[in-house]
Amino acid sequence: MGSKSGFACSHTGGQACRKPLEVPIGVCANMSIPDFFEEGSLVGVLTAEPLDRVLDYKAPEGGCWMGAYVQVPLGPRQVIGVVWGAGRGDWDPAKIRSIVKVLDVAPMRSEMKAFLEKVGAYTLTPMSAMLRLATRAPGLSNPPSMRKLYQLGPGEPDRMTDARTRVLAVLEEYGGLSFTLKELSEMAGTSSSVIKGLVKQDAVLEVDTPRDAPYLPLDPSLPSKELTEAQSSAACQICNGISEGRYGTTLLKGVTGSGKTEVYLEAVAECLRNGRQALVLLPEIALTSEFLTRVKQRFGADPAEWHSGVTMTERRRCWRMVGQGAAQLVVGARSALYLPYRDLGLIVVDEEHDTSYKQEDGALYNARDMAVLRASLNDAQVVLASATPSLESWVNAENGKYSRIDLTDRFGPAVMPDMRAIDMRVEDLPGSRWVSPSLVGAVRTRLEKGEQSLLFLNRRGYAPVTICRACGEQVGCDHCDARMVEHRFQKRLMCHQCGETKPMPVACPSCKVEGKMAAVGPGVERLAEEATALFPEANIAVLSSDLFGSARALKAKIAEIASGETDIIIGTQLVAKGHNFPRLTLVGVIDADLGLQGSDLRAAERTFQLMRQVAGRAGRAETAGTALMQTFQPEHPVIRAILSGDEEGFWQAEAREREITGMPPFGRLAGIVISSPDAAAAFDLGMHLSRSDGPIRATGGTVYGPAPAPIARVRGRHRVRLLVKAPKGAPIQAAVSSWLEGLKLPNNLRISVDIDPQSFY
Ligand code: ADP
Ligand code: ZN
């Protein structure tokens, strides 16, 4: 993996041109590059601006170090950059400007630099874009800022009021801790003027404190849960790798509820005991307060958090403290991989099969694979945890690249649910209803016993298609080749490609006849309507990402469901991810065939994972669970594998299939998408590329296409795609680079390259 060819070129501003530049890289390997640059000497500075080269600057007064974050003038602006090596000296010396200042943050470490270069080379992402990923913290160039915090003071107030008593009680309860004015007034239920009054009398102290404060230390020696024999032997095996300080990747496969989290928290503890930092990656949606509470229980303090819900101030603190080693554990979403760790010893990728680990915008990387790369550069351990691993990881474990540990039993009395198919060919169900009589009966039984049921349908909105019964017109998006989905809750139609919405039309946009628009097919909102009619006495909750204004609102709903207030949960794949609903004993899958219809390479794998995950929601506590799957094809091999629970059989069959067809992980793919407002221009370039496929053929590879992408128009841009398929060992990045090199693109035409594509739209 990775190439030493040098810097990716981005002089088109897009991703089309990747001319390698002759700039030396690899600090450790190249002894001719000094670590320190004297004042006035030439240094190369990489910026996050889309330029085609590392720029020459003069080292500032006092000199600068390799890897230093610096502020440099660029045209009329000042931007942030990193000292990347010696200057090239091929620029008019009279025009070379000086670095303005060296920022007061830890310099980029050589392994981080190597990591960015390797990810850039692997994913064919320009280095400027890689640096942007690594500096996603606002205000890095600002001087350290202060804020006022409040703590218990030595003084006695002249008189006590109820409000004053509450403030002092809160401060006493929390011992030596200090709080912001807002925190303290909220906790004490008083106005801030009460606190200010106490400050005047020295009963409360107001202290100027740096915003970027270190995180409270975590204590790995606090007692853990008492692990079962299988759990502790799993933990032991991973801890050995950590204490030996070597690289290794372990696939931790265990059914939902088997204690994978308990096991990897012990690996985190071992990492902390060794004085190194740990990172736990979770899909954004699984970053719940429930998880953070478990971390706090185990280690006595909160970890650093890094995800979309974290404030800008907190991000900046996290970035800086991680760099100083003053954050021992980061819990975050995929971009936490690019934080400037001082000494990273362990990366956990929980729910490693989750598709949200693949970034589908800008730098197209898979955080799971890049975590393995990062760890190998840091002598760190990786734990990939999942109940249903990706085929890639399963194969890597089979061939010995990864170790594998299986946790086969659920913790405590909980057992895997009993899984059965409901054959929809024999169920008696009218056309616009989706819950079969058998499933209705099963839900009724749960309602009578006061247990929860989950009805699962992986489709947001009310109905996937809105059709005019007069002329047959299906309402589509004006900007995309996609149908508009009715969201009755919001009283609008929405395009799931570009997010465009419009009001539900009364008259058909095509034939203008009124009152004939009809919903076709089910979405979760429609299913909720049916459930309300079937079970009027039940308390029903719908869990779908678009129904919640914020991640916090969603998390609150999940907590409410977990507490048992809901009788019936209706949800999309949002519910498949790791939530613990102890009273849930029945899962009904409305359309188990849904995922099998596409032509996607991973359709079978995804359906298998999703169905197993969803079924795993049932029966997490003492009560045994049941999963019922409505299907029109109960004898389909994937459905049979899901029901029989023969996981190894399923993976083996799937792996054999891919091996025969040379598909990943037994072969390599790269997706090329050309997009333009002008369909013909995009197609012409596609034809040109397919005719000039020499560099790809030279590696034994083949170019398929051009063909219209499955969604042929998004946001008004026509999309044409080519697929490169090459043998396993082929140098696909180098081949694609030289294939696309020197293309002259008109302004409005864009090319994006996706190495190891996950989806095919
Ligand atoms: P997974 O990550 O595999 O889904 P968890 O680690 O979340 O499993 O464990 C499921 C539940 O069982 C959690 O509530 C966890 O605290 C509990 N649990 C697991 N192992 C133990 C143990 N050894 N002792 C006590 N509780 C445990
Ligand atoms: Zn659209």
Residue burial 174-210, b: 16+ Cβ < 10 Å; e: rest = eeeebbebeebbebbebeeebbebbbeeebbbbeeee
Higher per-residue confidence, 290 vs 677: 677
Within 8 A by CB and 6+ apart from 202, the residues are: 153, 154, 155
Which one of 261, 349, 405 would you pick to mutate in the ligand 1 pocket, going by the greatest count of ligand atoms within 8 A of its CB?
261
Cα gap 107→92, rounded to integer Å: 28
* Rg of the chain on CA atoms, in Å: 29
Q: Which pLDDT does position 582 carry in this prediction?
A: 79
Q: Is the pLDDT of residue 261 over 70?
A: yes
Q: What is the DSSP letter of 152?
A: E
When the pLDDT of each residue in the chain is averaged and rounded to a whole number, the result is: 85
Q: Is the CB of 523 under 6 A from ligand 1?
A: no
**pLDDT tops 50 at residue 96:** yes
pLDDT at 70 exceeding the cut of 90: yes
Q: Looking at ligand 1, which atom is closest to the CA of residue 294?
A: 16
Distance 675 CA to ligand 2 centre (A): 15
pLDDT of 283: 87
Which 3 state secondary structure label does DSSP give 722?
strand
Determine what percent of the chain is predicted with pLDDT higher than 90.
46
Closest among 722, 734, 670 to 698, alpha carbons compared? 734
Ligand 2 midpoint to CA 527 (Å): 24
List the residue whose alpha carbon is closest to atom 4 of ligand 1: 257
List the alpha helices (DSSP H) in 4-139. Answer: 110-123, 127-134
Joined tokens for residue 340: 């400037």
The protein residue with its alpha carbon nearest to ligand 1, atom 9, reads 259
Q: Which two tokens stand for residue 391?
A: 């085929």
> Is 621 a pocket residue for ligand 1 (Cβ < 6 Å)?
no
pLDDT tens, position by position, 531-540: 999 999 999 9
Nearest to 705 by CA among 691, 716, 718, 715: 691
Which pLDDT score, from 0 to 100, does residue 413 have?
A: 60
Beta bridge pairs of residue 750: 675
Q: Kindly state the average pLDDT of the residues 681-691.
A: 91
Cβ–Cβ under 8 Å, residues 335 and 136: yes
Ligand 1 centroid – CA 263 distance (Å): 9
In short, whether 386's Cβ falls inside 6 Å of ligand 1 is no
Ligand 1 pocket, 228 CB below 6 A? Answer: yes
The strands making up 492-494's β-sheet, listed across from edge to edge, are 485-487, 492-494, 501-503
Maximum Cα–Cα distance across the chain: 88
Greater confidence (186 vs 241) lies with: 241
Q: Which ligand is nearest to the CA of 497?
A: 2
pLDDT in tens, 416-462: 678 899 999 999 988 789 999 999 999 999 999 999 999 988 888 88
Reported confidence tier of residue 71, pLDDT bands at 50, 70, 90: very high
> Can you name the residues that pair with 73 across neighbouring β-strands?
78
Count Cα atoms within 13 angstroms, Cβ side, for 445.
10
Higher pLDDT, 287 or 276: 276
Asked if residue 588 lies in contact with residue 438, where contact means CB atoms within 8 angstroms, the answer is no
Residue nearest to atom 23 of ligand 1 (CA): 227
Angle between helices 192-200 and 162-173 (to 10 degrees): 80
pLDDT over 70, % of the chain: 91
Residue in 226, 231, 262 to alter for ligand 1 test, most ligand atoms within 8 A of Cβ: 262
The residues, ordered by sequence, that sit 6+ positions from 625 with a Cβ below 8 Å of its Cβ are: 416, 417, 418, 584, 585, 586, 587, 615, 617, 618, 619
CB 226 near ligand 1, within 6 Å? yes
State the ligand closest to the CA atom of 290: 1
Helix (H/G/I), strand (E/B), else coil: 370: helix
